[in-house]
Structure 1
Amino acid sequence: MSAQGRGPTGRELRVLPALAAGPVDMPFPILSWSEDFTHDLDWNEHSHPYHELLWNERGASKAVVGARVWTVTPTLGLWMPAGTLHSGSAAAGTRCRASLFGFDAVAPISPTPVAVEITPLLRLLLERLADAGLPARSRELTEAMVLDVLTPSPHELLLKMPTSELLRPIADAVMTDPADRRGLAEWASLLGVSARTISRAFNAETGTSFARWVAAVRAQHAVELLTRGWPVEVVAERVGYRSASAFGAAFRRTTGLTPGAFRAP
Protein backbone atom coordinates (compact mmCIF):
# COMPACT_ATOMS: atom_id res chain seq x y z
CA MET A 1 0.00 0.00 0.00
CA SER A 2 1.18 3.53 -0.65
CA ALA A 3 0.21 6.87 0.84
CA GLN A 4 -0.30 9.77 -1.55
CA GLY A 5 -0.13 13.50 -1.11
CA ARG A 6 1.21 16.75 -2.50
CA GLY A 7 4.67 18.07 -1.80
CA PRO A 8 5.47 21.77 -1.36
CA THR A 9 6.11 22.10 -5.13
CA GLY A 10 2.71 20.67 -6.06
CA ARG A 11 4.21 17.38 -7.22
CA GLU A 12 2.40 14.19 -6.25
CA LEU A 13 4.25 12.28 -3.53
CA ARG A 14 3.82 8.54 -3.02
CA VAL A 15 5.12 7.03 0.19
CA LEU A 16 5.98 3.34 0.08
CA PRO A 17 7.43 1.09 2.83
CA ALA A 18 10.97 -0.26 3.00
CA LEU A 19 10.58 -4.04 2.81
CA ALA A 20 13.31 -6.66 3.05
CA ALA A 21 14.07 -9.02 0.19
CA GLY A 22 12.28 -12.33 0.49
CA PRO A 23 9.57 -14.57 -0.92
CA VAL A 24 6.01 -13.24 -1.09
CA ASP A 25 2.81 -14.78 -2.37
CA MET A 26 2.63 -14.03 -6.13
CA PRO A 27 0.24 -15.69 -8.61
CA PHE A 28 3.00 -15.85 -11.25
CA PRO A 29 6.80 -15.71 -11.12
CA ILE A 30 6.72 -12.48 -13.16
CA LEU A 31 3.98 -9.92 -12.61
CA SER A 32 3.32 -6.76 -14.63
CA TRP A 33 2.44 -3.22 -13.53
CA SER A 34 1.82 -0.07 -15.54
CA GLU A 35 0.46 3.41 -14.93
CA ASP A 36 -0.02 6.68 -16.81
CA PHE A 37 0.94 9.71 -14.75
CA THR A 38 -1.09 12.88 -15.14
CA HIS A 39 1.00 14.82 -12.59
CA ASP A 40 4.70 15.12 -11.87
CA LEU A 41 5.40 12.41 -9.31
CA ASP A 42 7.99 11.54 -6.66
CA TRP A 43 8.49 8.32 -4.71
CA ASN A 44 10.11 8.29 -1.29
CA GLU A 45 13.05 6.00 -0.54
CA HIS A 46 11.60 2.49 -0.32
CA SER A 47 12.34 -1.13 -1.20
CA HIS A 48 10.46 -4.22 -2.37
CA PRO A 49 10.69 -7.90 -1.39
CA TYR A 50 10.80 -8.83 -5.12
CA HIS A 51 13.14 -7.84 -7.96
CA GLU A 52 11.94 -5.17 -10.40
CA LEU A 53 12.66 -4.37 -14.02
CA LEU A 54 11.72 -0.72 -14.47
CA TRP A 55 11.08 0.67 -17.95
CA ASN A 56 8.74 3.11 -19.64
CA GLU A 57 6.35 2.72 -22.50
CA ARG A 58 6.45 6.49 -22.94
CA GLY A 59 8.58 9.26 -21.43
CA ALA A 60 11.51 9.19 -19.02
CA SER A 61 11.74 8.70 -15.27
CA LYS A 62 14.51 8.60 -12.69
CA ALA A 63 15.57 6.06 -10.09
CA VAL A 64 17.95 7.05 -7.29
CA VAL A 65 20.07 4.72 -5.18
CA GLY A 66 22.28 6.63 -2.76
CA ALA A 67 24.23 9.18 -4.83
CA ARG A 68 23.57 7.36 -8.14
CA VAL A 69 20.83 8.55 -10.49
CA TRP A 70 19.63 6.45 -13.45
CA THR A 71 17.36 7.69 -16.21
CA VAL A 72 14.83 5.06 -17.32
CA THR A 73 13.39 5.25 -20.85
CA PRO A 74 11.45 3.10 -23.35
CA THR A 75 14.77 1.65 -24.59
CA LEU A 76 16.87 1.53 -21.41
CA GLY A 77 15.36 -0.08 -18.35
CA LEU A 78 16.80 -0.66 -14.89
CA TRP A 79 17.10 -3.90 -12.91
CA MET A 80 16.39 -3.14 -9.24
CA PRO A 81 17.31 -6.06 -6.95
CA ALA A 82 14.95 -6.98 -4.13
CA GLY A 83 15.54 -5.11 -0.90
CA THR A 84 17.44 -2.23 -2.55
CA LEU A 85 16.51 1.17 -1.10
CA HIS A 86 15.63 3.56 -3.92
CA SER A 87 13.58 6.64 -4.61
CA GLY A 88 12.35 7.99 -7.93
CA SER A 89 10.46 10.53 -9.97
CA ALA A 90 8.48 10.73 -13.18
CA ALA A 91 7.13 13.62 -15.23
CA ALA A 92 3.49 14.10 -16.16
CA GLY A 93 2.70 12.24 -19.38
CA THR A 94 5.01 9.33 -18.58
CA ARG A 95 3.68 5.80 -18.89
CA CYS A 96 5.73 3.69 -16.48
CA ARG A 97 6.03 -0.07 -16.71
CA ALA A 98 7.52 -2.56 -14.29
CA SER A 99 7.96 -6.31 -14.28
CA LEU A 100 8.08 -7.83 -10.79
CA PHE A 101 10.19 -10.97 -10.37
CA GLY A 102 9.50 -13.26 -7.42
CA PHE A 103 12.50 -13.44 -5.08
CA ASP A 104 12.40 -17.23 -4.87
CA ALA A 105 11.25 -17.76 -8.46
CA VAL A 106 14.16 -16.35 -10.49
CA ALA A 107 17.88 -15.86 -10.10
CA PRO A 108 18.76 -12.14 -10.18
CA ILE A 109 20.71 -10.97 -13.23
CA SER A 110 22.77 -8.72 -10.93
CA PRO A 111 23.07 -8.19 -7.15
CA THR A 112 23.15 -4.42 -7.73
CA PRO A 113 21.08 -2.07 -9.92
CA VAL A 114 22.07 -2.38 -13.56
CA ALA A 115 20.79 -1.03 -16.88
CA VAL A 116 18.92 -3.40 -19.21
CA GLU A 117 18.34 -2.74 -22.90
CA ILE A 118 14.63 -3.04 -23.67
CA THR A 119 14.97 -4.69 -27.07
CA PRO A 120 11.91 -5.15 -29.31
CA LEU A 121 11.91 -8.87 -28.41
CA LEU A 122 12.10 -8.27 -24.66
CA ARG A 123 9.39 -5.62 -24.89
CA LEU A 124 7.12 -7.99 -26.81
CA LEU A 125 7.64 -10.74 -24.22
CA LEU A 126 7.00 -8.42 -21.27
CA GLU A 127 3.84 -7.09 -22.91
CA ARG A 128 2.66 -10.66 -23.45
CA LEU A 129 3.08 -11.41 -19.75
CA ALA A 130 0.83 -8.42 -18.97
CA ASP A 131 -2.08 -10.46 -20.36
CA ALA A 132 -3.76 -11.93 -17.26
CA GLY A 133 -5.59 -14.43 -19.47
CA LEU A 134 -2.44 -15.94 -20.97
CA PRO A 135 -2.66 -19.77 -20.80
CA ALA A 136 -0.43 -21.36 -18.17
CA ARG A 137 1.86 -23.16 -20.65
CA SER A 138 2.25 -20.04 -22.79
CA ARG A 139 3.07 -17.99 -19.70
CA GLU A 140 5.66 -20.52 -18.58
CA LEU A 141 7.38 -20.46 -22.00
CA THR A 142 7.26 -16.66 -22.19
CA GLU A 143 8.74 -16.30 -18.70
CA ALA A 144 11.57 -18.64 -19.68
CA MET A 145 12.27 -16.55 -22.78
CA VAL A 146 12.29 -13.34 -20.72
CA LEU A 147 14.89 -14.80 -18.37
CA ASP A 148 16.92 -15.99 -21.34
CA VAL A 149 17.16 -12.57 -23.03
CA LEU A 150 17.28 -10.44 -19.87
CA THR A 151 20.90 -9.31 -19.57
CA PRO A 152 22.74 -6.19 -18.36
CA SER A 153 23.33 -3.54 -21.00
CA PRO A 154 26.76 -2.05 -21.80
CA HIS A 155 24.99 1.31 -22.02
CA GLU A 156 23.38 3.18 -19.16
CA LEU A 157 22.21 6.67 -18.30
CA LEU A 158 23.88 6.88 -14.90
CA LEU A 159 24.95 9.94 -12.96
CA LYS A 160 26.77 9.94 -9.62
CA MET A 161 25.97 13.05 -7.62
CA PRO A 162 28.68 14.86 -5.63
CA THR A 163 27.67 15.47 -2.02
CA SER A 164 30.32 17.73 -0.46
CA GLU A 165 29.65 21.34 0.53
CA LEU A 166 32.32 22.41 -1.96
CA LEU A 167 30.68 20.82 -5.00
CA ARG A 168 27.03 21.23 -4.05
CA PRO A 169 26.69 24.76 -5.55
CA ILE A 170 28.13 23.51 -8.83
CA ALA A 171 25.92 20.42 -8.91
CA ASP A 172 22.80 22.43 -8.07
CA ALA A 173 23.55 24.99 -10.79
CA VAL A 174 24.22 22.43 -13.53
CA MET A 175 21.25 20.24 -12.58
CA THR A 176 19.00 23.32 -12.67
CA ASP A 177 20.42 24.57 -15.97
CA PRO A 178 22.42 22.01 -17.99
CA ALA A 179 23.28 24.79 -20.45
CA ASP A 180 25.41 26.51 -17.78
CA ARG A 181 28.78 26.90 -19.52
CA ARG A 182 30.88 27.96 -16.55
CA GLY A 183 34.14 26.03 -16.48
CA LEU A 184 36.54 25.07 -13.73
CA ALA A 185 38.32 28.44 -13.71
CA GLU A 186 35.07 30.37 -13.29
CA TRP A 187 33.80 28.10 -10.54
CA ALA A 188 37.15 28.23 -8.77
CA SER A 189 37.05 32.04 -8.77
CA LEU A 190 33.46 32.07 -7.56
CA LEU A 191 34.08 29.57 -4.73
CA GLY A 192 37.49 30.92 -3.72
CA VAL A 193 39.45 27.72 -4.34
CA SER A 194 41.78 26.49 -7.06
CA ALA A 195 40.57 24.77 -10.21
CA ARG A 196 42.80 21.84 -9.21
CA THR A 197 40.90 21.50 -5.92
CA ILE A 198 37.56 21.30 -7.71
CA SER A 199 38.94 18.85 -10.28
CA ARG A 200 40.29 16.54 -7.59
CA ALA A 201 37.03 16.71 -5.65
CA PHE A 202 34.97 15.74 -8.69
CA ASN A 203 37.19 12.76 -9.41
CA ALA A 204 37.10 11.65 -5.77
CA GLU A 205 33.32 11.99 -5.34
CA THR A 206 31.99 10.97 -8.75
CA GLY A 207 34.77 8.87 -10.24
CA THR A 208 34.94 11.13 -13.28
CA SER A 209 36.11 14.57 -14.36
CA PHE A 210 34.11 17.77 -14.08
CA ALA A 211 33.68 17.93 -17.89
CA ARG A 212 32.47 14.34 -18.14
CA TRP A 213 30.11 14.82 -15.20
CA VAL A 214 28.56 17.87 -16.89
CA ALA A 215 28.24 15.87 -20.12
CA ALA A 216 26.38 13.14 -18.18
CA VAL A 217 23.98 15.69 -16.69
CA ARG A 218 23.32 17.10 -20.14
CA ALA A 219 22.76 13.62 -21.59
CA GLN A 220 20.20 12.71 -18.91
CA HIS A 221 18.35 16.00 -19.38
CA ALA A 222 18.46 15.59 -23.16
CA VAL A 223 16.92 12.12 -22.95
CA GLU A 224 13.96 13.49 -20.99
CA LEU A 225 13.32 16.04 -23.75
CA LEU A 226 13.92 13.60 -26.61
CA THR A 227 11.41 11.11 -25.20
CA ARG A 228 8.85 13.95 -25.18
CA GLY A 229 9.39 14.49 -28.91
CA TRP A 230 11.53 17.64 -28.82
CA PRO A 231 13.56 18.24 -32.02
CA VAL A 232 17.26 17.41 -31.70
CA GLU A 233 18.28 20.96 -32.62
CA VAL A 234 16.17 22.42 -29.81
CA VAL A 235 17.40 19.85 -27.31
CA ALA A 236 21.02 20.61 -28.25
CA GLU A 237 20.55 24.29 -27.49
CA ARG A 238 18.60 23.64 -24.30
CA VAL A 239 21.41 21.50 -22.84
CA GLY A 240 24.23 23.85 -23.77
CA TYR A 241 25.62 22.83 -27.17
CA ARG A 242 26.15 25.26 -30.04
CA SER A 243 25.03 22.83 -32.74
CA ALA A 244 23.14 19.58 -33.19
CA SER A 245 26.32 17.91 -34.48
CA ALA A 246 28.33 18.91 -31.40
CA PHE A 247 25.49 17.65 -29.21
CA GLY A 248 25.29 14.36 -31.11
CA ALA A 249 29.02 13.72 -30.80
CA ALA A 250 29.05 14.50 -27.06
CA PHE A 251 25.92 12.39 -26.49
CA ARG A 252 27.47 9.38 -28.23
CA ARG A 253 30.68 9.73 -26.22
CA THR A 254 28.70 9.79 -22.99
CA THR A 255 26.05 7.15 -23.64
CA GLY A 256 27.38 5.03 -26.51
CA LEU A 257 24.09 5.71 -28.30
CA THR A 258 22.75 8.32 -30.69
CA PRO A 259 20.07 10.86 -29.72
CA GLY A 260 17.79 9.14 -32.22
CA ALA A 261 17.71 6.04 -30.01
CA PHE A 262 15.56 8.00 -27.55
CA ARG A 263 13.30 9.92 -29.90
CA ALA A 264 9.60 9.62 -29.13
CA PRO A 265 7.85 7.21 -31.54
Structure 2
Amino acid sequence: MFKLPENKPQIPKDTPRNYFIYGETMSGKSYLANEFPNPLVLNTDGNAEANSVPSIQLVNEKNEQGRITNSVIKQLGEILLALQTQKHSYETVVIDVIDDVIEMIKIAVCDELTPAGKPRLKSLSEIPYGKGYDFFNQAITELVIDLKALPMNVIYISRQVSEYDDNGNATKDKPSLKDKYVNLINGNSDLMIHVEKLGNNYNREVDRKRKTYYADQVDDKAILKILATIRGAVEPAKGNAQRKDEVAKTGRKAKEVAAKETTSDDELF
Protein backbone atom coordinates (compact mmCIF):
# COMPACT_ATOMS: atom_id res chain seq x y z
CA MET A 1 0.00 0.00 0.00
CA PHE A 2 1.26 3.48 -0.84
CA LYS A 3 2.38 5.37 2.25
CA LEU A 4 2.27 9.14 2.46
CA PRO A 5 5.27 10.94 3.98
CA GLU A 6 4.92 12.32 7.49
CA ASN A 7 3.52 15.83 7.60
CA LYS A 8 6.46 17.54 9.28
CA PRO A 9 9.22 19.95 8.25
CA GLN A 10 12.42 18.44 6.89
CA ILE A 11 15.84 19.73 5.94
CA PRO A 12 16.30 19.56 2.13
CA LYS A 13 19.09 17.37 0.77
CA ASP A 14 20.82 19.32 -1.95
CA THR A 15 24.32 18.33 -3.07
CA PRO A 16 25.74 19.68 -6.36
CA ARG A 17 26.87 16.82 -8.61
CA ASN A 18 27.86 18.41 -11.93
CA TYR A 19 30.85 20.74 -12.24
CA PHE A 20 32.60 22.73 -14.95
CA ILE A 21 36.18 23.66 -14.01
CA TYR A 22 38.40 25.90 -16.14
CA GLY A 23 41.78 27.58 -15.77
CA GLU A 24 45.25 27.94 -17.23
CA THR A 25 47.73 25.09 -17.56
CA MET A 26 49.11 24.01 -14.18
CA SER A 27 46.50 26.02 -12.30
CA GLY A 28 45.15 23.08 -10.30
CA LYS A 29 42.20 21.95 -12.47
CA SER A 30 43.01 18.24 -12.43
CA TYR A 31 44.18 18.42 -8.81
CA LEU A 32 40.78 19.75 -7.74
CA ALA A 33 38.95 17.14 -9.82
CA ASN A 34 41.02 14.33 -8.28
CA GLU A 35 39.95 15.41 -4.78
CA PHE A 36 36.44 14.18 -5.51
CA PRO A 37 35.66 10.67 -4.21
CA ASN A 38 36.73 7.64 -6.28
CA PRO A 39 37.31 9.40 -9.63
CA LEU A 40 37.64 7.83 -13.06
CA VAL A 41 39.39 10.19 -15.48
CA LEU A 42 38.66 10.15 -19.21
CA ASN A 43 41.94 11.59 -20.40
CA THR A 44 42.89 13.27 -23.68
CA ASP A 45 46.53 14.32 -23.13
CA GLY A 46 48.10 10.93 -23.91
CA ASN A 47 49.33 10.61 -20.35
CA ALA A 48 46.68 8.43 -18.74
CA GLU A 49 49.16 5.96 -17.25
CA ALA A 50 50.94 8.77 -15.39
CA ASN A 51 47.82 9.68 -13.40
CA SER A 52 47.57 8.75 -9.75
CA VAL A 53 43.91 7.77 -10.20
CA PRO A 54 42.36 5.28 -12.65
CA SER A 55 42.23 6.75 -16.17
CA ILE A 56 41.10 5.84 -19.67
CA GLN A 57 42.84 7.35 -22.66
CA LEU A 58 40.46 8.77 -25.28
CA VAL A 59 41.70 8.79 -28.86
CA ASN A 60 40.36 8.29 -32.36
CA GLU A 61 42.11 5.04 -33.30
CA LYS A 62 43.12 4.92 -36.99
CA ASN A 63 44.30 2.35 -39.52
CA GLU A 64 47.28 2.63 -41.87
CA GLN A 65 45.23 4.70 -44.30
CA GLY A 66 44.45 7.25 -41.62
CA ARG A 67 40.77 6.35 -41.38
CA ILE A 68 39.21 5.99 -37.94
CA THR A 69 38.52 2.41 -36.89
CA ASN A 70 37.43 3.10 -33.30
CA SER A 71 36.05 6.58 -32.77
CA VAL A 72 35.94 8.55 -29.54
CA ILE A 73 32.15 8.63 -29.95
CA LYS A 74 32.01 4.84 -29.78
CA GLN A 75 34.49 4.73 -26.88
CA LEU A 76 32.49 7.23 -24.83
CA GLY A 77 29.30 5.28 -25.51
CA GLU A 78 30.89 2.06 -24.26
CA ILE A 79 32.34 3.76 -21.16
CA LEU A 80 29.05 5.39 -20.19
CA LEU A 81 27.15 2.14 -20.73
CA ALA A 82 29.64 0.33 -18.49
CA LEU A 83 29.27 2.99 -15.78
CA GLN A 84 25.48 2.62 -16.01
CA THR A 85 25.25 -1.16 -16.06
CA GLN A 86 28.37 -2.68 -14.50
CA LYS A 87 29.03 -3.00 -10.79
CA HIS A 88 31.85 -0.64 -9.82
CA SER A 89 33.05 1.60 -6.99
CA TYR A 90 33.59 4.83 -8.97
CA GLU A 91 31.75 7.88 -7.65
CA THR A 92 33.12 10.57 -9.98
CA VAL A 93 33.79 10.73 -13.72
CA VAL A 94 36.15 13.44 -15.01
CA ILE A 95 36.41 14.65 -18.64
CA ASP A 96 39.94 16.03 -18.91
CA VAL A 97 39.74 18.01 -21.13
CA ILE A 98 36.33 18.58 -22.75
CA ASP A 99 37.93 20.90 -25.35
CA ASP A 100 39.81 17.97 -26.88
CA VAL A 101 36.82 15.63 -26.65
CA ILE A 102 34.68 18.02 -28.70
CA GLU A 103 37.38 18.36 -31.36
CA MET A 104 37.81 14.57 -31.53
CA ILE A 105 34.06 14.16 -31.93
CA LYS A 106 34.14 16.63 -34.82
CA ILE A 107 36.97 14.70 -36.51
CA ALA A 108 35.11 11.42 -35.98
CA VAL A 109 31.94 12.79 -37.58
CA CYS A 110 33.89 14.08 -40.60
CA ASP A 111 35.54 10.67 -40.99
CA GLU A 112 32.28 8.73 -40.63
CA LEU A 113 30.47 10.83 -43.23
CA THR A 114 33.30 10.83 -45.79
CA PRO A 115 32.28 8.80 -48.86
CA ALA A 116 34.19 5.54 -49.35
CA GLY A 117 37.36 5.93 -51.39
CA LYS A 118 37.48 9.72 -50.90
CA PRO A 119 40.02 11.70 -48.84
CA ARG A 120 38.69 12.36 -45.35
CA LEU A 121 36.68 15.55 -45.06
CA LYS A 122 38.36 18.25 -43.00
CA SER A 123 35.35 20.33 -42.01
CA LEU A 124 31.70 19.80 -41.10
CA SER A 125 30.79 22.47 -43.64
CA GLU A 126 31.97 20.13 -46.44
CA ILE A 127 29.17 17.67 -45.58
CA PRO A 128 26.03 18.46 -47.63
CA TYR A 129 22.65 19.57 -46.25
CA GLY A 130 24.00 20.35 -42.78
CA LYS A 131 24.14 16.65 -42.03
CA GLY A 132 27.58 16.95 -40.45
CA TYR A 133 26.50 19.66 -38.00
CA ASP A 134 23.41 17.62 -37.08
CA PHE A 135 25.48 14.52 -36.29
CA PHE A 136 28.05 16.58 -34.39
CA ASN A 137 25.54 18.49 -32.25
CA GLN A 138 23.62 15.30 -31.53
CA ALA A 139 26.77 13.50 -30.37
CA ILE A 140 27.76 16.30 -27.97
CA THR A 141 24.25 16.78 -26.60
CA GLU A 142 23.83 13.04 -26.06
CA LEU A 143 27.18 12.90 -24.25
CA VAL A 144 26.23 15.69 -21.83
CA ILE A 145 22.76 14.27 -21.16
CA ASP A 146 24.06 10.72 -20.60
CA LEU A 147 26.75 12.00 -18.22
CA LYS A 148 24.20 13.97 -16.23
CA ALA A 149 21.99 10.89 -15.97
CA LEU A 150 24.75 8.93 -14.21
CA PRO A 151 24.31 8.56 -10.43
CA MET A 152 27.78 10.05 -10.02
CA ASN A 153 29.65 13.32 -9.71
CA VAL A 154 30.49 14.61 -13.21
CA ILE A 155 33.36 17.04 -13.80
CA TYR A 156 34.22 18.78 -17.07
CA ILE A 157 37.66 20.37 -17.30
CA SER A 158 38.40 23.10 -19.83
CA ARG A 159 41.41 25.22 -20.71
CA GLN A 160 41.37 28.99 -20.43
CA VAL A 161 41.75 31.91 -22.82
CA SER A 162 41.86 35.64 -22.09
CA GLU A 163 40.08 38.53 -23.72
CA TYR A 164 42.12 41.69 -24.34
CA ASP A 165 41.26 45.37 -24.74
CA ASP A 166 42.63 47.68 -27.45
CA ASN A 167 45.75 48.30 -25.35
CA GLY A 168 46.60 44.63 -25.10
CA ASN A 169 45.56 44.31 -21.47
CA ALA A 170 43.77 41.14 -20.37
CA THR A 171 40.22 42.06 -19.35
CA LYS A 172 38.56 38.69 -18.81
CA ASP A 173 39.46 35.04 -18.38
CA LYS A 174 37.05 32.47 -19.78
CA PRO A 175 36.92 28.82 -20.93
CA SER A 176 38.58 28.17 -24.27
CA LEU A 177 35.41 26.43 -25.51
CA LYS A 178 33.13 28.32 -27.85
CA ASP A 179 30.28 30.02 -26.01
CA LYS A 180 27.63 27.68 -27.40
CA TYR A 181 29.40 24.65 -25.94
CA VAL A 182 30.04 26.44 -22.66
CA ASN A 183 26.31 27.21 -22.48
CA LEU A 184 25.40 23.58 -23.20
CA ILE A 185 27.76 22.15 -20.60
CA ASN A 186 27.28 24.86 -18.01
CA GLY A 187 23.52 24.63 -18.50
CA ASN A 188 23.78 21.03 -17.30
CA SER A 189 26.21 21.82 -14.47
CA ASP A 190 25.58 23.00 -10.92
CA LEU A 191 28.78 24.99 -10.42
CA MET A 192 31.22 26.63 -12.83
CA ILE A 193 34.59 27.03 -11.08
CA HIS A 194 37.59 29.12 -12.08
CA VAL A 195 40.98 28.05 -10.75
CA GLU A 196 44.21 30.01 -10.97
CA LYS A 197 47.71 30.04 -9.55
CA LEU A 198 48.78 33.25 -7.83
CA GLY A 199 52.46 33.00 -6.97
CA ASN A 200 52.77 29.89 -4.82
CA ASN A 201 49.08 29.88 -3.95
CA TYR A 202 46.11 28.38 -5.75
CA ASN A 203 42.75 30.12 -5.91
CA ARG A 204 39.38 28.42 -6.46
CA GLU A 205 36.31 30.55 -7.04
CA VAL A 206 32.79 30.00 -8.33
CA ASP A 207 32.16 31.81 -11.61
CA ARG A 208 28.51 30.79 -12.06
CA LYS A 209 26.11 28.61 -10.12
CA ARG A 210 22.68 27.15 -10.69
CA LYS A 211 21.48 28.11 -7.20
CA THR A 212 22.68 28.87 -3.70
CA TYR A 213 23.87 25.83 -1.77
CA TYR A 214 23.77 25.78 2.03
CA ALA A 215 26.09 23.76 4.23
CA ASP A 216 23.29 22.07 6.20
CA GLN A 217 21.58 20.94 2.98
CA VAL A 218 24.65 19.32 1.38
CA ASP A 219 24.12 15.74 2.54
CA ASP A 220 27.42 14.40 1.12
CA LYS A 221 30.04 15.40 3.67
CA ALA A 222 32.95 14.49 1.37
CA ILE A 223 31.61 16.93 -1.23
CA LEU A 224 30.94 19.56 1.44
CA LYS A 225 34.57 19.39 2.53
CA ILE A 226 35.69 20.09 -1.06
CA LEU A 227 33.15 22.88 -1.56
CA ALA A 228 34.51 24.58 1.56
CA THR A 229 37.81 25.11 -0.31
CA ILE A 230 36.06 26.93 -3.18
CA ARG A 231 35.14 30.56 -2.68
CA GLY A 232 31.42 31.17 -3.16
CA ALA A 233 30.49 27.49 -3.52
CA VAL A 234 28.53 27.01 -0.32
CA GLU A 235 26.85 29.32 2.18
CA PRO A 236 26.58 28.82 5.96
CA ALA A 237 23.77 26.66 7.23
CA LYS A 238 20.46 28.07 6.05
CA GLY A 239 18.78 27.25 9.34
CA ASN A 240 21.33 29.33 11.24
CA ALA A 241 20.93 32.21 8.82
CA GLN A 242 17.14 32.10 9.18
CA ARG A 243 17.38 32.03 12.97
CA LYS A 244 19.74 35.02 12.92
CA ASP A 245 17.31 36.93 10.70
CA GLU A 246 14.42 36.09 13.03
CA VAL A 247 16.40 37.23 16.07
CA ALA A 248 17.35 40.44 14.31
CA LYS A 249 13.74 41.10 13.28
CA THR A 250 12.54 40.40 16.80
CA GLY A 251 15.14 42.79 18.16
CA ARG A 252 14.08 45.53 15.75
CA LYS A 253 10.41 45.07 16.60
CA ALA A 254 11.19 45.24 20.33
CA LYS A 255 13.04 48.50 19.83
CA GLU A 256 10.16 49.91 17.78
CA VAL A 257 7.63 48.94 20.46
CA ALA A 258 9.81 50.42 23.19
CA ALA A 259 10.18 53.64 21.22
CA LYS A 260 6.41 53.92 20.76
CA GLU A 261 5.77 53.26 24.46
CA THR A 262 8.31 55.89 25.41
CA THR A 263 6.67 58.38 23.06
CA SER A 264 3.22 57.59 24.52
CA ASP A 265 4.50 58.08 28.07
CA ASP A 266 6.06 61.44 27.13
CA GLU A 267 2.75 62.57 25.65
CA LEU A 268 1.03 61.99 29.03
CA PHE A 269 3.08 64.73 30.61
Larger helix fraction of residues: 2
TM-score by length of 2: 0.26
Whichever of the two has the greater Rg, that structure is 2
